[in-house]
Each structure stands twice: as structure tokens, then as C-alpha cells.
Amino acid sequence: MTIIFLVLGLIFGSFINSFVWRLHLKYSSSKKVSKKHSFFKGRSMCPKCKHILSPVDLFPIFSWLLLRGKCRYCHKAISLQYPIVELITGVLFSLSYFYWPYSFNLWDYILLMLWLVILVILVGLAIYDFKYKILPNNLVYSAIFLSLVFATIYYIKYDQTSAYLLARLYGVLFSAGIFYLIFQVSNGKWIGGGDVKLCIALGIILGGPLEVVLMLFLASLAGSLMSGFLLITKKLKANMTIAFGPLLIFSTFLCFFFGSQILNWYTGLIG
């Protein structure tokens, strides 16, 4: 079963690659996007020579390996982004199934499917932010909406307590509140407005200020490690910014599945 989720993740990873590219095309071109590039219609094509790809070119990872990272038609290098995103999505999908914190009744499966859709949007956001340093509004709003649906189903089916709702409310106020403050204080220089909106979705997913603190801590830790590494290797330029979105999203994934373990381990450590 884990293998099925891995394969499913590879396929969705390939979908993420293509929708990030199409979304960027839509935003970056002032002209009306031609039908060939439209969002869901239109076949996949090589980003460089625009040759329509045949089905054998579309197998996640394997096509890339078989073609040795080069386009079959123009022989230009295909970015490593493609297989890496496919692999990451595959791993996240199989981890999601393997460590799924709930049981496997009908409603749990519905929640799991919903979670995977949210995950696809979050990975898409992470890649978009990493590449273009912006979090597109329509993706962020979809993530917020679907997290709300997820929390609502969970509330109705499993936990009709005000504690559940309050935890989510505090989570959102806390995460989005902190980011809104940083955004205001730095005049939008340290983080973007997209990060603030993203935190609304992440707050709903995590629920509870403690989980949010852990998520922010992990994200900042990863951020510091990354800038430290870049400083040592002298790759950090003065005007360079590190996109915070991918770090927030990755930490949220960790906290969603392993948050309580990490917190237990930590309290065991200090207690």
C-alpha cells in the first residue's frame, strides 16, 4: 500500500511541476495566454523547445533517467527540479500514508485524500516560492479553504468540542499574527504578505499555539542552518533572500505527523 502511495506521489509530483510552470507562464506573460498553455487543457511540452511530449516522456523520474536529463527533441538539459519534485512528492505521499495519525474508516480515507490534495497545493507553493520568490494568491486561498474543510469534517465526525475549535483559532491567530507583525515591522522586507496568508492555512492544519511555536522554531532553525551553510560556502550574496515559504511548509509537514513525538521527546529532555 505504501508503494501505491509512492507511485501516486510521483505522478502528482509530475503534475505539480507542470502546474507551477503553467501558473508562472500565466502570471508572467502580459498577453493573453494561448490555448496551448491553458491551465488544464493542452498537452505537456518541453519548456525549452515547446515540443509536445509523448506519453513515454511523461513517466516520473524514469523518463528523466532514461533520457539522461535531456530533452528527446532539442537535447537541452531538463532541470533537476523535475525529478527532485517528483521524488519529494512521492516520499511525502508514502510518509503520509505510513504515519497517518488517524485510523482507516471511510471518513479517515476521505480526510487522507483531502490531506493529499492540500499537500499537492503546499508542495506547489513551496516550489513556486523557491523559484520565483512569491506565493500566488489563488494557491494560498485554495490551501486555506481546503484546510477549513478538513478541520470541519474532523470536527463533525470526531471531535465536537470547543477545545478543538479554539486550538485552531489560537493556532491561526498566533502564526498569522506573528508573521503579520514581522511583515509590518520590516515593511515587507523580511517576509512577504504571502507568508502571512500562508500561515492562516498552516495554523488551521496544525491547531494550537504549541504546535505553531514548534513549527516556527523548526522553520527558523532550518533557515539559520541554510544561511549558515551558504555563508560558509560563500554562496550567500548580500542582496539574496531565502524564501521562507518552503521552510514553513516543510516544518508544518513534520509537525502534523511528528509534532507530539517531538514535543514529548523535548519535555522528557528537560523534565
Footprint of Zn ion (CB under 5 A): 46, 48-49, 71, 73-74
Q: Tell the smallest beta-carbon distance from residue 53 to Zn ion (Å).
A: 9
CB of 51 to Zn ion, least distance (A): 5
> Do residues 222 and 247 lie in contact, with contact meaning Cβ atoms separated by under 8 Å?
yes
Q: Which of 11/53 has CB closer to Zn ion? A: 53
Pick between residue 48 and residue 157 the one whose CB is nearest to Zn ion. Answer: 48
Helix (H, G, I), strand (E, B) or coil at 244: coil
Q: Which is nearer to Zn ion, 73 or 164 (by Cβ)?
A: 73
d(CA 235, CA 268) in angstroms, rounded, equals 38
Q: How far apart are CA 96 and CA 109, in angstroms?
A: 12
For Zn ion, the closer CB: 50 or 189:
50
Joined together, the cell numbers standing for residue 26 give 500565466
Q: Which is nearer to Zn ion, 53 or 263 (CB)?
A: 53
Q: How far is the CB of 76 from Zn ion (least distance, A)?
A: 6
- Compare residues 54 and 160 and give the one whose CB is closer to Zn ion: 54
* Residues 6 or more apart in contact with residue 220 via CB below 8 angstroms: 247
Looking at residue 3, the DSSP 8-state letter turns out to be: H
Minimum distance, C-beta of residue 22 to Zn ion, in the bound complex (Å): 16
Could you tell me which of 241, 133, 147 has the C-alpha nearest to residue 193?
133
Nearer to Zn ion, 46 or 262 (CB): 46
DSSP 89-104: HHHHHHHHHHT-SS--
CB of 63 to Zn ion, least distance (A): 13
Distances from the Cα of 54 to the Cα of 81, 210, 239, angstroms: 20, 49, 41
Pair 203, 173: CB distance under 8 Å: yes
Specify burial of residue 22 (Cβ count, 10 A radius: 0-12, 13-18, 19+). middle
Q: CB of residue 50 vs Zn ion: minimum separation in angstroms?
A: 7
The distance of closest approach from Cβ of residue 172 to Zn ion in the complex, given in angstroms and rounded to an integer, is 44
CA–CA gap between residue 61 and residue 161 (Å, rounded): 45
